[in-house]
Structure 1
Amino acid sequence: MQHRPFPVRPAASQPTFPLAATALAVALLSISSGAQAFELDTGNPDLTLRWDNTLRYNYASRVEERDSKIGNSAVSDEGTYSFNKGQAVANRVDLLSEIDLTWKKRYGARVSGAGWYDDAYSSVSHTNPNPPLTNIPSYIGKRYSDYTQRYYHGPSGELLDAFVFGGVDLGEVPVNVKLGRHSLYWGESLFLAGNLNSVAYAQNPLDLQKGFATPGVEAKELFRPLNQLSFQSQVTDTLSIAGQYMLEWDSFRYPEGGTYLGPVDFAFNGPDRQFISQALGFARRGDPSEPKQRGEGGLSARWSPAWLDGTMGFYWRNFADKLPQTFLTQVGPGTSRYNLIYADNINLYGISLAKNIGGISFGSELSYRQNTPLNSTVLGISPGLPTPGDTKGPRGDTYHGLINAVGVINKTPLFDTATWAAELVWSQWAKVRSGGNLFFAEGFAPCVGKDKWDGCTTKNYLGAGLAFTPTWFQVFPGVDLSMPMTYAVGLSGNAATIFGGNQGNGNYSVGLGVDVQQKYRFDLKYIDYLGKYRSTNGTAVTSQNGFTTLLKDRGFVSLTFKTTF
């Protein structure tokens, strides 16, 4: 992948991830005993062993008043009532630990993991105190489920990277192979919105829980590794090929309902239920219908002929989606159930171009998804789940494109240097293959009497993301100051794919960053969300253009400290 000055494009060989509880305990003991980052002396110049740890503390406080119409909606009240203005929405410690073992710089292994604890959350969910909504919480007994407690409160952790790698020469062609839990990232997308419309879509499950809390975060920071076999080979000086075969499947990690950044109360894996109506009562969350664990795969080629002065990429992938459609099933009189359904057997074909022009690094992609899930209503189907990987919801074909640029501005009277990035994203639905009666789009039955501001899909979607960071060096001895700013918004239309983007829906952040001796990092940041909803009854949200619109009253200030040792 061609190097670009900012953001650093993700290298497939160097993902970073989190840690299991036992390893977390060992690492914390090491911290308390004064251990520091080091490269162990193995006594053999061909063998290197490195252990790095990153400790992060985050304190965040809500600074925006609650929107009463969001708070009066039965599907979104618990998220906005989870914390009041002025309360801490995060009081969290994270530890990332990484171990790399390398033999002759060609063979080795990598293990990484993370642990966390957040004192802002407890076992009790903070629900709407106002009747009648206080009597229909999405968590039974108004207590967070074990799933939500683990990922929000903790203490907990998880093993992520765990793979071995090695290289062989087939004649004069070098081939590098990895086996185990790791991530690959193909293509040229930079930001989260770009990734959701890129050739790398669903190549890795993403941590959207982190992405929602940190607008502008680079896609590479959100990767969750999967067990797989992958290879990369430099066939000629100008041509390389790569491939992967998945041995594991997992979904995106989402902001859970009833938490501060959970847009809707019933989603996704944490809440127990959702109140439907007096006649139907509660719909209980059922087990998700997941695709088979093995079988996803893909091939890519990167070609850099001298005449191009750049790099072209070609891609094919067959994969299972990692974002769900939702089914509502009536399983008996007054008894309903909803399930997350993940579709498989999606084909993606793509092409990319990366090129440096006038000191600015440009990237672009065009891709076509075949048989991909499309936006739908909450589906009503007969009792019983579809077979794993099958969905009776709308599926069809979509086009996706993006173009981005990254660069550096040299010293000016206003700052010593600045980095910037911009990305424009486009998508279009081309064909509905099945389930058209449930396609939530203009011109289809579910959107009769509605328009795009009710969330209806349009033929085309256009969105943009921006990042700008001026920097001042040595404002004090050993101290550098920066001001990172990000803005992302849907410019026109609503995408046909899940989380693909909605007009007027987005987020922004502005902050100050302080680097001390290039070892300690402090960030103070304000984060907020954008969107448009309708309230036909004047008291509660009755429709919205994208579920993340329901976060538009969650503005918060975040202070983060991070150090690597």
Structure 2
Amino acid sequence: MVCHVKDSNEQITARVLAQTTVLLGLLCSLSDTSAASYKINEDWSLESNTTIALGASWSTQAPSAALLYKPDANHIGKNGMSVDINGDDGRANFDRGDAISQIVKGFSEFRLVGKQQGAVLSAKYWYDHAYETGEGDLKPFDDSEWPSLVKFKGIELWDAYLWKNIELNSNQHLNLKVGKHSLNWGKSQFFQNGLNSVSAFDFAAINRPASEAKERMIPVEMFSFEAQIQPNLKLEGFYQFKFRPSVVDGCGTFFAISDFVPENCGPIMLTVTPGDKLTETAAKAQTYIPRSASHYAKDSGQYGVALKRNLSSLNQAELGVYFANYHHRNANFDGIAVIGAGVENFKTARFFSIYPENIKMYGLSLSGKIGTTNLFSELSYKPNQPLQLNGTDIVYAQVLSKETPLKPAGVAADFGEYLQGYVRLPVTQFSIGASDSIAGIFKANSLSLGAEFAVNHIANIGNHRFGRVGVFGRSELSTGAYDSETGDFKCTPYGTANLPNDTVDHLNERYCNKDGFFSEWSYGYRLRAALTYKDLLPATVITPSLTFRHDVSGYSQNFQEGQMSLAAAVSANFRQKYSAEVIYQNFFGSNDFSTIDDRDFISLAFKYSF
């Protein structure tokens, strides 16, 4: 993510290419063994596997003016028409052609294997040259206070657990794990917020080039078991000893859509109308809301069980029944109102992330096969899922606005009042998908196809306003709906962000409403197709693929109505040791509240496994 750097872009490019050439040469000189195995004695062996990767990504679009706060954008020679001072760092820092990652990374795994027991230890490590040496157009990159997984370089212990298999009799056995490991619940392949909610995800790793599937789900300290009770009946369960949240990209990085949501980012800048200030000026004037310490969930109280049965009447399809009690993996935000009126008291307010506890989840899954087609589905119900209220509404309530939906019309929050930023509501999610493989298409060895459809329902949503990012400004005031004829009940007053009046009128007409918030129903689908060629090059498997996203209707955690994306990729794997992949990601569609349509990028990655 380089815009202004200590060396020129040409020098950095030359240096990275040189380092890449040297490293690839070293890798190619190593043994052709893809994994190492050492026999200790008749009962024990040690296995190891390491993947080293080089990757880089570049932005292929200039930032959209609609997402850049005008004074900040003008300060760095760009165009902007957003009224949100707290949501543009991630896009203002980069222009078309800028590197958004230049990474060297690795993943090493060691397995001590006995006849019926063993141990697993793994670690991931990475260094992102673009962030470590670069500066954004608007702000320098600074990860000093961020969680370790989000930092630009690091070494992280991943798996660390013991396992034991116990044979009870010929038809019964018990598999046990204790330690730090991941748990893969549910059947959904494309959607979150379902049965996989019991797991935490490393979204920062997902967005890096050369991402590995096994590093995306964060291992958690826990005890888990799988018991084969009968030939067609299985019981699974877990109890977690530690709470670990999901992590998102740090503020100011390419994929960050907020300057204060990621952990240890902020503060929330407040501007004074008319004549709004630059971000840096607002900080000096102390017109901001500081961030307080995060309220993490307790380590105890996270557990779950699942009963799975193979149904002979449905061609041995597997039916699963689930229950879990877990703590929210994603941050919600609460706030405390100012202790006195006036701009000088803005800094007496506080905001902080909070991870609500004891979410109940009930679920069903059904997976099986019809002919050669694999079918999978799941249903989850959470009677008390926390849903985040609109952040802009919370901020205005903190500074005693009498026009927010958090209070009755004309009523302001009390001095120092605690404002809970989320509401618990019943949420139901259903998904169904299929996958298959067809030979002889386009002269390929196989064509792999996958599709999944999901629908989300939020009960009792009422007048709550969940979601919708602050870059689009305030929503409809509680005191009245915006009147474009008279100009009454403006969400954005004239003078905001030094925007001309006609632009302010346009923003009010487009966004001063109740649109873009979570809806009772939302749904969409995902498609993937991949061709496999094994004979184009010696000992090399070539795989071109396409992945398509379409959010058809409604808004929720998974869907933004009209949002589409297309990822085109080509990978080459030589002897299951050396691989290369290029990916182009394009975001588009008719989503009026999209914050990703200008984040198209291209990635290139090389990997070596041994």
TM-score range, shorter chain: 0.7 to 0.9
Write out aligned runs for 1:98-497 (5 A): 98-104=109-115, 106-122=116-132, 125-128=135-138, 142-148=140-146, 151=149, 154-170=152-168, 173-191=172-190, 194=191, 196-201=192-197, 203-212=198-207, 222-278=216-272, 281-309=287-315, 310-332=317-339, 333-335=345-347, 336-378=349-391, 379=394, 380=397, 393-431=422-460, 439=466, 454-495=515-556
Aligned residue among 562, 569, 580 for 1:522: 580
User: What SS does the aligned partner of 1:69 have?
Assistant: helix
- Give ranges in structure 2 of 5+ residues lacking alignment: 1-23, 69-79, 274-285, 340-344, 399-413, 469-474, 483-510
Taking structure 1 as reference, are residues 440 and 308 closer, same or farther at Cα in structure 2, changes over 3 Å only?
same
Taking structure 1 as reference, are residues 150 and 121 closer, same or farther at Cα in structure 2, changes over 3 Å only?
farther
Taking structure 1 as reference, are residues 443 and 424 closer, same or farther at Cα in structure 2, changes over 3 Å only?
farther
Aligned partner letter, 2:433: N
Q: Once the two structures are aligned, what percentage of the paired residues are identical?
A: 24
Alignment-derived partner of residue 12 in structure 1:
none
CA–CA separation in structure 2 for the residues paired with 1:227 and 1:306: 36
CA–CA separation in structure 2 for the residues paired with 1:234 and 1:204: 23
Alignment-derived partner of residue 70 in structure 1:
67
CA–CA separation in structure 2 for the residues paired with 1:52 and 1:174: 28
Taking structure 1 as reference, are residues 487 and 218 closer, same or farther at Cα in structure 2, changes over 3 Å only?
farther
Aligned partner letter, 1:427: N
CA–CA separation in structure 2 for the residues paired with 1:59 and 1:259: 14
CA–CA separation in structure 2 for the residues paired with 1:302 and 1:258: 44
Aligned partner letter, 1:403: I
CA–CA separation in structure 2 for the residues paired with 1:322 and 1:171: 39
Aligned partner letter, 1:113: A
Q: Is the 1:352–1:363 contact (alpha carbons within 8 Å) kept by the matching residues of 2?
A: yes
The answer to whether 1:500 aligns with 2:558 is: yes
User: What SS does the aligned partner of 1:120 have?
Assistant: helix
Taking structure 1 as reference, are residues 153 and 395 closer, same or farther at Cα in structure 2, changes over 3 Å only?
closer
Taking structure 1 as reference, are residues 77 and 47 closer, same or farther at Cα in structure 2, changes over 3 Å only?
same
What is the CA distance between 1:419 and its match in structure 2?
0.9
- Give ranges in structure 1 of 5+ residues lacking alignment: 1-27, 129-136, 535-543
**Deviation readout 1:221-251 (Å, 9 max, x if unpaired):** 5200000011110000000000001101111
**Deviation readout 1:371-416 (Å, 9 max, x if unpaired):** 1112412235678897xxx956211101110001111011124433
CA–CA separation in structure 2 for the residues paired with 1:342 and 1:308: 41
Q: Is the 1:351–1:367 contact (alpha carbons within 8 Å) kept by the matching residues of 2?
A: yes
CA–CA separation in structure 1 for the residues paired with 2:196 and 2:105: 27
What is the CA distance between 1:525 and its match in structure 2?
1.0
Q: Is the 1:437–1:444 contact (alpha carbons within 8 Å) kept by the matching residues of 2?
A: no
The answer to whether 1:80 aligns with 2:125 is: no
CA–CA separation in structure 1 for the residues paired with 2:56 and 2:289: 35
Alignment-derived partner of residue 14 in structure 1:
none
User: What SS does the aligned partner of 1:394 have?
Assistant: strand
Question: What is the TM-score of this pair, normalised by structure 2?
Answer: 0.75
CA–CA separation in structure 1 for the residues paired with 2:94 and 2:143: 18
CA–CA separation in structure 2 for the residues paired with 1:452 and 1:422: 35
Over aligned residues, Cα RMSD in angstroms? 3.2
CA–CA separation in structure 1 for the residues paired with 2:167 and 2:58: 55
Figure out how many residues of one structure are paired with residues of the other and give that number: 498
**Deviation readout 1:28-57 (Å, 9 max, x if unpaired):** 9x9799576544433423212101101111
Q: Which moved more, 1:329-338 or 1:223-232?
A: 329-338
Aligned residue among 36, 46, 49 for 1:49: 46
User: What SS does the aligned partner of 1:200 have?
Assistant: helix
Q: Is the 1:125–1:258 contact (alpha carbons within 8 Å) kept by the matching residues of 2?
A: no
What is the CA distance between 1:513 and its match in structure 2?
1.2
CA–CA separation in structure 2 for the residues paired with 1:463 and 1:272: 33
User: What SS does the aligned partner of 2:524 have?
Assistant: strand
Q: Is the 1:437–1:445 contact (alpha carbons within 8 Å) kept by the matching residues of 2?
A: no
What is the CA distance between 1:349 and its match in structure 2?
0.7
CA–CA separation in structure 1 for the residues paired with 2:41 and 2:216: 36
Taking structure 1 as reference, are residues 560 and 340 closer, same or farther at Cα in structure 2, changes over 3 Å only?
same
Aligned partner letter, 1:197: N
The answer to whether 1:557 aligns with 2:605 is: no
CA–CA separation in structure 1 for the residues paired with 2:213 and 2:478: 35
What is the CA distance between 1:447 and its match in structure 2?
11
CA–CA separation in structure 2 for the residues paired with 1:311 and 1:525: 35
CA–CA separation in structure 2 for the residues paired with 1:248 and 1:262: 27
User: What SS does the aligned partner of 1:121 have?
Assistant: helix
What is the CA distance between 1:529 and its match in structure 2?
2.6
Taking structure 1 as reference, are residues 415 and 167 closer, same or farther at Cα in structure 2, changes over 3 Å only?
closer
**Deviation readout 1:153-205 (Å, 9 max, x if unpaired):** 643111010000112345663211111101111221112xx2x232122x110
Q: Which moved more, 1:458-467 or 1:203-212?
A: 203-212
CA–CA separation in structure 2 for the residues paired with 1:384 and 1:492: 39
Q: Is the 1:145–1:271 contact (alpha carbons within 8 Å) kept by the matching residues of 2?
A: no
**Deviation readout 1:532-557 (Å, 9 max, x if unpaired):** 566xxxxxxxxx2xxxx222112111
Aligned partner letter, 1:460: W
What is the CA distance between 1:150 and its match in structure 2?
5.5
Q: Is the 1:37–1:51 contact (alpha carbons within 8 Å) kept by the matching residues of 2?
A: no
CA–CA separation in structure 1 for the residues paired with 2:64 and 2:421: 36
Structure (1 or 2) with the larger CA radius of gyration: 2
CA–CA separation in structure 2 for the residues paired with 1:513 and 1:447: 55
What is the CA distance between 1:125 and its match in structure 2?
4.6
What is the CA distance between 1:478 and its match in structure 2?
2.1
CA–CA separation in structure 1 for the residues paired with 2:381 and 2:477: 22
**Deviation readout 1:428-478 (Å, 9 max, x if unpaired):** 01236xx96565699996997779984212110101111111122221222
